[in-house]
Amino acid sequence: LLTEAEKMWNTKMSVAISGGFDMPAAEQVLLFKKVGFDGFAADYAPYRDAIPKLRELADKTQMIFSYVHAPFMKMNKMWEHSKEADGATDELIDCLDICAENKVPIAVAHAYIGFDDKEPNEAGLENFGRVVRYAEKVGVKIAFENTEGEQFLRAVMERFGDSDAVGFCLDTGHEMCYNHSRDMLALYGKKVLMTHFNDNLGISDYGGKAVWTDDLHLLPFDGIANWQRIVERLEEHGYDGIYNFELSKVSKGDRHDNDIYTKMTTPEYINEAYKRACRVAALKKDAFSL
């Protein structure tokens, strides 16, 4: 039978598990299911060892396990020849193994982390090549996400974008605060495999300097994102996959933009997230068709 969300909005919707939701991962999945979401996603860290149990729970509840988010805190090390680079590469490969073993079809990965002026190089492309070849071997797709260091994403997609194992994950908030509102789907829309839907207030620095605290992960419609145009752009590129929401209940640094969410209980917040998700899905051209 079709879920209520699919009947009304013709869209599967998932939400990422978060430590900020202040309940165990399995309880979050059950809450997502109760509220109306069709699926969930999990980070490799800190949920690596819980992923087999989450797979079992997904099967039991008939939820979609949308993706595992690969570790990203060492991604700057991927662009060098070093023991740290080998360790970062091995972590990505382990994430692919975890996905393959637990029938999770997609790993979402970053190509870089940081705001320095470094440029891509052959060392990094060799390391990512090892990861892409392994993804091809185990049958898991890697969706590279738009983040800071846009030149590194470009280098990875130019080198490996023709691989069937390589795709793109659109983060709507990152597009505004890290990519200066450039249309990332114009570059990688043909390869889009996953979404990170979230909102923010754009770049706070008058001179246009991107900083990590601008990446707020607000609920849709609490920021300045043009959700109608986001949905239209995805449709223009033929994306008909799951609408996944990556959200934060907690403010960053000295910001207070998310503080209003902390006044909500987690069930109240997830219920509100589902309402916003439905509003986004209802913007699709065929939102109410059966």
Tell me what percent of the residues of the chain surpass a pLDDT of 90. Answer: 94
User: How confident is the model at residue 285, as a pLDDT?
Assistant: 87
Distance of CA 24 to the CA centre of its chain: 20
Model confidence pTM above 0.85:
yes
* Beta carbons of 78 and 281 less than 8 angstroms apart: no
The sign one gets for the Cα dihedral 17, 20, 26, 27 is negative
The mean pLDDT value of the chain amounts to 95
Q: How confident is the model at residue 9 (pLDDT cuts 50, 70, 90)?
A: low
Instruction: State yes or no: pLDDT of 5 exceeds 80.
Output: no
Instruction: State yes or no: pLDDT of 156 exceeds 90.
Output: yes
Instruction: State yes or no: pLDDT of 56 exceeds 60.
Output: yes
Counting Cα atoms < 13 Å in the Cβ hemisphere of 288 gives 3
Q: In what order do the strands lie in the sheet with 39-43?
A: 192-196, 166-171, 141-145, 106-109, 64-69, 39-43, 13-16, 243-245
Tokens read off for 236: 């223009």
Instruction: State yes or no: pLDDT of 10 exceeds 90.
Output: no
Q: Write b or e for each residue in 177-214: b if 16 or more Cβ atoms lie within 10 A of its Cβ, otherwise e.
A: bbbeeeebbebbbebbbbbbbbbbbbbeeeeeebeeeb
| Tens digits of residue pLDDT in 119-155 | 999 999 999 999 999 999 999 999 999 999 999 999 9
| Tens digits of residue pLDDT in 88-124 | 999 999 999 999 999 999 999 999 999 998 999 999 9
Instruction: State yes or no: pLDDT of 217 exceeds 80.
Output: yes
Instruction: State yes or no: pLDDT of 275 exceeds 90.
Output: yes
